[in-house]
Amino acid sequence: MVDAGRQRTSAHRPESDAELREFRRQTLPLYNENALKLGVFGMNCSGGMAISTAESTLRIEWDHQLELAQLADRLGLEAYIPIARWKGAGGKINYLGENFEPMTFAAAIAASTKEIMTFATVHAPVVSPIAAAKMITTIDHISGGRAGLNVVMGWLTREFDMFGLTQRDHQARYAFGSEWLEIVDRLWNETAEFDFAGEHFTLKNAESAPKPIQPRPVVLNAGSSPTGAEWAARHADFNFASYASPEAGTKYVADIKRLAREKYERDIGVLTYAFVICRDTEAEARRDLERVVEMADVEGAANWMSALGLQSASFSEDTLKGEFARYFVAGGGAARVVGTPEQVAAQLQEMSGTGLDGVMLGFLNYKEELADFGEKVMPLLREAGLRK
């Protein structure tokens, strides 16, 4: 599949909806036949998914990151999703304070892997849509048509201050994002120069060549507020969501897929993320979870929870209290999948039962635990019919 993909150019782009579906099925891992897609998430920033002083082998060093990406590729995972951060959360470990910029990171990963889909996370207010369109196109050609764009409207005011940008209110961010993505889409698809006059952008003679290999590189968006979910249903190919229970997840997935289909006549997939602690015994797994929690970076976690709850509108204030707050450090708001290989596989199967298309994974010790996951959990997922 990959050798053929690397030979493709934008001249081979499919035109009809049927050709597009077949192109994606053959070329893009997130459209393969696996009922439960898997990926790695958040690996490019210090702390990963643990806001804790618990010892971790995760390193923001290129050799370490390359080995992790190539391991995920060999295991047959579908997606590799770095996050975009410019400033840490403070506290003892300055959570996420060391980070690799995701556009250049994704390009390097794309050049160093064979099958896995490589996403680049972009804060739309920080990067010009003209530059972003060109960057993602470049990654798409590097990868032979495996690039993805994770577009974020931007929500950390402390980071915006670094750039001298003014934070928009929640509704206005998505209006800005609609114009931004419209420009990107047009640059990916239109051959003639065009002008653009909107509320947020005024462009003259905009153009971009070559075009991506994909007719439209896959767009991921994590909006889960009512406004964010509406935007994702209208514009994104996959929504990246989190929720508090399987029941809530089942409703959320059904609602956003129905919204996309009925209001916008399009299909959308839904992904979530999980912090995985898989050990040979349940007692070992629970012990390591408690160690992460007990060694919490309390200040950093409070800062991060505030950002998620108050600035992104991804969580309500009531959610960020009590037991949820205590365990927030283990996953940073992600689902926690904890136990033996059999228990982990069963929990992932339950998550798949909500209608999700895939789960992006994070670990305390990414490289070692991903290898263990591949050896002990993935065979169980195949036995359950979730993976080929």
Question: What pLDDT shows up at residue 59?
Answer: 98
The first and second tokens of residue 62, run together, are 């290129």
Q: What is the pLDDT of residues 92-121, one digit of tens each?
A: 999 999 999 999 999 999 999 999 999 999
Which domains does the chain possess? 2-8+27-383 (3.20.20.30)
363-382 average pLDDT score: 98
Question: What pLDDT shows up at residue 2?
Answer: 41
Percentage of the chain surpassing pLDDT 70? 91
**pLDDT-wise least confident of 17-26, 68-77, 349-358:** 17-26
Question: What pLDDT shows up at residue 15?
Answer: 67
Quote the CA–CA distance of 215 and 265 in Å, as a whole number. 18
Question: What pLDDT shows up at residue 26?
Answer: 85
On whether the CB atoms of residues 304 and 353 are closer than 8 A, the answer is: no
Q: Could you say which DSSP state residue 165 is in?
A: P
Question: What pLDDT shows up at residue 244?
Answer: 79
236-248 average pLDDT score: 92
Q: What is the pLDDT of residues 193-207, one digit of tens each?
A: 999 999 999 999 999
pLDDT surpassing 70 at residue 166: yes
Q: What is the pLDDT of residues 173-223, one digit of tens each?
A: 999 999 999 999 999 999 999 999 999 999 999 999 999 999 899 999 999
What's the pLDDT band for 70 if we cut at 50, 70, 90? very high
pLDDT surpassing 60 at residue 159: yes
End-to-end CA distance of the chain: 16
Question: What pLDDT shows up at residue 6?
Answer: 46
Beta bridge partners of 37: 358
Percentage of the chain surpassing pLDDT 90? 79
Quote the CA–CA distance of 123 and 162 in Å, as a whole number. 13
Of 175, 195, 187, whose CA–CA distance to 128 is shortest?
187
On whether the CB atoms of residues 48 and 98 are closer than 8 A, the answer is: no
What's the pLDDT band for 4 if we cut at 50, 70, 90? very low
Mean residue pLDDT across the chain = 91
Quote the CA–CA distance of 76 and 71 in Å, as a whole number. 9
Q: What is the pLDDT of residues 288-328, one digit of tens each?
A: 999 999 999 989 988 888 777 544 444 444 444 456 667 78
59-88 average pLDDT score: 97
For residue 313, give the amino acid letter: A
> How does 126-152 read in b/e, with b if 16+ C-beta sit within 10 Å?
bbbbbebbbbbbbbbbbbbbbbbbbbb
Quote the CA–CA distance of 303 and 300 in Å, as a whole number. 5
